[in-house]
Chain A
Amino acid sequence: MAAEAEANKITEALHELSVQNIVTLPTVGPFDFSITNTVVYMWISAAIVFIFFFVVARRLKREPDRLQVTAESLMNFATGHLTGQIGEKGKKYYYIILTLFTYIFTMNIVGLIPKPIFMKPITPTANINVTFGLAFVVFCVTQFQGFKRHGARGYLGSWLTPPGVPKALAIPLNVVFFLVHLMGELFKPLSLAIRLFGNTIAGHLVILVMLGLVLKFSSYLIALPPLAFVVAMNGFEIFVAFIQAYIFSLLSVIYIESAIYAGH
């Protein structure tokens, strides 16, 4: 009985990660339209990104001030690999990649800021629905580009066996190649989503479990090392937030590139 109560103190800290309804709206079929704290923090992140770039774009100068230098280096960092990977054609994807990078980065950072008690402090990207939504956008862009540039015949044809295979082998190999490519295309958004979700939630779980130790032992002597660890871990989380946003945008570029140059 006592052990159970103590275990509850640790899991109590984990409840911080749960989703909470702010405004409950009706459920239509399988879709729940309620406004949760995740949605509110997503809106806040989007507003931060929008206002930041709106303000910077309003006061562009020939001699950039601090804000403009920040925005410009952010834009260069997020999209610097575009032309390197795709070439001149890559300039078209500047906006979506920049948006993905800044939005994901802001969402990751918003989750690290302490928040009011009436709304649970949750990171939007620690919710697998959010990351799958973002990955689905990348998936749609990738497939749309593939079909648009090569046509349905050319794009799906690039999934089949390369020319030069003997006729007798070609038909069974085509089936295998097609299925393997289909699996590959479906696994790309899956790995994008799970990577972002896993990295974000793993860091938060470690922090919360450490704080759970403080709750469990309730002694100042034991509380200090976990607290020091939590502070260090929060610093590491800022690094992870940045690197995960970068990896997401970089892999999106690579996936789009693979669709544009399909069959080469």
Chain B
Amino acid sequence: MDAETAAKLAAGLGMGLATLGPGLGIGYMTGRTADAIARQPEASGDIRTAMIIGVALAEALALYAFVIAILLAIAG
């Protein structure tokens, strides 16, 4: 396997692996948010804001990997 093929394989594999963690995290957060809103519908605004912050922070991890994957696929 030459360097270019290896870089492209790494980009694909890395992107797939990097979505695992944030995917689990976002799923857990959204599930708990639904729980919390069902328990206390009057606080849904605040709960949703807290969820969006958490989801955004978790999602950023996958996007770091996305940028690296693009760099690997184009420059590698």
**Interface residues, chain A, CB within 8 Å of chain B?**
81, 84, 191, 194-195, 197-199, 202, 243, 246-247, 250-251, 254
Contacts and interface: CB of A to CB of B under 8 A. Distances in A.
Interface residues of B, number: 13
B64 A250 contact: no
For chain B, what secondary structure do more than half of its interface residues adopt (helix, strand, loop), or is it mixed? helix
Interface of B: 46, 49, 52-53, 56-57, 59-60, 62-64, 66-67
Nearest to B49: A81
B52 A250 contact: yes
A194 B60 contact: yes
B19 to A, nearest CB: 11
Given A198-B67, A202-B66, A191 B60 contact: yes
Interface centre among B52, B56, B59 (most CB of A within 10 A): B56
A198 B66 contact: yes
Given A194-B67, A202-B66, A250 B49 contact: yes
Contacts of B66: 198, 202
Contacts of B63: 194-195, 197-199, 202
A35 to B, nearest CB: 25
A81 B52 CA distance: 12
Contacts of A84: 46
B64 A194 contact: yes
A75 to B, nearest CB: 17
B53 A254 contact: yes
Given A84-B46, A194-B67, 12 more contacts: A191-B60, A195-B59, A197-B63, A197-B67, A198-B66, A199-B59, A199-B63, A202-B63, A202-B66, A247-B52, A250-B49, A250-B52
